[in-house]
Amino acid sequence: MGHIEDKVRGAGNEAAGKVKQAVGDLTDDTQLQAEGEAQELQGKGQTALGKAKDAIGDALETAGDALKKSGS
């Protein structure tokens, strides 16, 4: 999965998790609250992975540019 997809899916899971938690709070459904918390954490992990992929890509691009300049 690419960095953009990771961030988009992460944001979706975070939002869905928050909704589940809210519904669980309103209905006193502790199982749903727990599922929501888990899904939100999964989303945060996916978002972090996407950001890490961005950072690695940027670093590789910078390194490549530096190599091109030193080789010319």
User: What would the pLDDT profile of 16-43 be if each residue is shown by its tens digit?
Assistant: 999 999 999 999 999 999 999 999 999 9
- 70/45: higher pLDDT: 45
b/e for 22-39, b at 16 or more Cβ within 10 A?
eebeeeeeeebbebbeeb
Tell me the residue range of the domain where 47 lies.
3-71
In the chain, the number of structural domains is 1
> pTM score, two decimals?
0.81
pLDDT computed for residue 2 by the predictor: 87
Give the Å distances, CA to CA, from 45 to 14, 18, 62: 9, 15, 26
Contacts (Cβ under 8 Å, ≥6 apart) of 45 = 10
DSSP state of 28: T
